[in-house]
Amino acid sequence: MLIQRLPQHFDADPKKVILLYLDPGQSDRLTRFAAFAEKLSDEQADRLLEHTASLFEHRHRRYHELLLAHAAIGKKAMSPAPVLTAKQELVFGSYLTKEYSVEAAALFNPSIVPHPDQSGLAADETRFVLTLRSVGEGHISSIGFMEGVIDAQNKITFTPQGPWRTAGTKVNIPGGDDDHYDIVFDDSIPLSERVIFPQASSESMGMEDLRMVRVVDGDVIRYLGTYTAYNGRNIRSKMLETTDFKHFHIRDLKGSEVDNKGMAYFPRKVDGQYTMLSRQGGEACGIMQSNDYMTWNKKQAHQKPFRDFELVQIGNCGSPIETPEGWLMLTHHVGPMRRYTLGVSLLDLEQPQIIRAILDKPLLEPLESEREGYVPNVLYTCGWMQHGSSILIPYAMSDVAVGFAMADIKNLVDHLLTCQV
């Protein structure tokens, strides 16, 4: 047996809500909200605020702060801006605020990396960060996080999650444009509470399928992730960079070859160049290399669909894992009835455009219990992680739940070397 499923799994949870600005849509609504707030006495405002807080404050960490922030946005859109007391500002802001359930529609396509903090663990334990694609009202995709520890017996223990979810604060870059910005979280906000919600017009309908990897470049260690920005009509490839999962840089990828989905960084340079897995023509795997990890102008077709269970398309499922025999590349395959399965290929260590072996059958297929969901018959992931001599694979079940599986690296490589290309 090449792979073994683990008992842990979790489902989408509609109780995970964040606070967002509610666009009133019409300027007369802003005027109406402000006029109502201006007429309130302190006593009247207190009663209304206490009632609203009794329904919502316990569900959010930054409740008052965000009401005031949303009030400021509303006032900025008005001329002249209304003059309000502190309590009236909170009332005004409450009419410009909404709850958004980040997982109301779907939870899927995880990625996984070693946590930057490995302190306090036994030698055979690994702390990890799990990233997740969450989909809520309007089919908008955001990025969520979980953290946990896997031990020598491959038992996973997740860090307990609190009741709140908090969207990061956007920080504009001096001289930057809409697509280049930072997201910042306060130290007091636990990792599993953090949500990166779309901030740019190019990603207004979602930040899709983050493929995260820990990249070592000499003495520099950074976490890089690529994702698909979607505005309801067009896609573009963007990059997320962090060192601590508190401060994130969001940037556009550049170059002539970043016009497709499914890009994934290698965890180190290959032959002195940054290297990336990519999708070619929307249906095959490719390799790209560059001297600059932001700019990609060279591509090479790689693995194309040729078997019955992948004739629709194949693509990578995140960054490759290095072994002495070569790079293990996790792949997804789409066959009859849009059924998604996972596979593995072995790439040459120094020339990854050379495929040494392709697994002769799917590595992981949806079970009967995993095939029902928002998008049925789909088993998919955006990354895997080495843990000792094994690989931990988180995977999505038909876009409504996430499960886990383990594979022994030696067994997998040994079997691959018996397969033909």
Among 277, 276, 261, which Cα is nearest to 141's? 261
Q: pLDDT digits over 82-121, tens only? A: 999 999 999 999 999 999 999 999 999 999 999 999 999 9
Is 135:107 a contact under the CB 8 Å cutoff? yes
Q: Is the pLDDT of residue 301 over 90?
A: no
State mean pLDDT over 37-66: 97
Q: Where are the domains of the chain?
A: 4-15+102-416, 17-101
Q: What is the rounded distance in angstroms from the CA atom of residue 183 to the CA atom of residue 166? A: 12
Percent of the chain with pLDDT over 70: 100
Residue with tokens 């609190």: 162
Residue scoring higher pLDDT (421 or 357): 357
Q: Is the pLDDT of residue 27 over 90?
A: no
State mean pLDDT over 351-377: 96
Q: Is the pLDDT of residue 176 over 80?
A: no
Mean pLDDT (the chain, rounded): 96
Q: pLDDT digits over 328-361, tens only? A: 999 999 999 999 999 999 999 999 999 999 999 9
State mean pLDDT over 285-301: 93
Residue scoring higher pLDDT (260 or 105): 105
The per-residue pLDDT for 98 is 98
Among 331, 328, 312, which Cα is nearest to 320's? 328
Is 248:148 a contact under the CB 8 Å cutoff? no
Instruction: Give the model's confidence band at 260: pLDDT under 50 very low, under 70 low, under 90 confident, else very high.
Output: confident
Is 321:213 a contact under the CB 8 Å cutoff? no
State mean pLDDT over 387-396: 98
Amino acid letter at 288? Answer: M
* CATH (residue range 4-15+102-416): 2.115.10.20
Q: Is the pLDDT of residue 177 over 90?
A: no
State mean pLDDT over 118-136: 97
Q: Is the pLDDT of residue 369 over 80?
A: yes
State mean pLDDT over 311-334: 97
The per-residue pLDDT for 175 is 79
Q: What is the SS3 assignment for 416?
A: helix
Q: What is the rounded distance in angstroms from the CA atom of residue 367 to the CA atom of residue 118? A: 34
Q: What is the rounded distance in angstroms from the CA atom of residue 175 to the CA atom of residue 177? A: 7
The per-residue pLDDT for 420 is 79
pTM beyond 0.85: yes
Instruction: Give the model's confidence band at 1: pLDDT under 50 very low, under 70 low, under 90 confident, else very high.
Output: confident
